[in-house]
């Protein structure tokens, strides 16, 4: 069994922090912020691709047909009543 090397808790002020990675908090925070920013850049890039594909689809088949079904399938012209 691992030991902390402490015999008594008679003076808790002298003990200090007792968890792994003491002193590495700043480095871990920096890594976390960097990963968070990288994730945001990746997410923005992926959403831009989806947006461009959606715009292309809307231009090809029309908004009414593309948005008719919630299942993601394109409606036929007979299924959509185009309002004029």
Its sign, for the CA torsion 7, 8, 9, 11, is negative
What pLDDT shows up at residue 53?
86
What is the token pair recorded at 73?
């399938």
Q: In this predicted model, which residue has the larger pLDDT, 72 or 26?
A: 26
pLDDT band for position 15 (50/70/90)?
confident
Closest CA to 20 of 38, 32, 4, 44: 4
Three-state secondary-structure class, residue 44: helix
What pLDDT shows up at residue 19?
80
* Interval 21-61: pLDDT, tens: 888 999 999 999 999 999 999 999 999 998 898 888 888 87
């Amino acid at each position: 069994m691992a030991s902390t090397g402490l015999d008594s808790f008679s003076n808790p002020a002298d003990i200090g922090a007792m968890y792994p990675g003491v002193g590495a908090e700043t480095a871990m925070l920096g890594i976390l912020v960097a990963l968070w920013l990288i994730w945001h850049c990746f997410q923005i890039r992926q959403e831009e691709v989806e947006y461009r594909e959606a715009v292309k689809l809307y231009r090809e088949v029309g908004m009414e047909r593309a948005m008719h079904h919630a299942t993601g399938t394109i409606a036929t012209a007979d299924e959509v009543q185009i309002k004029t």
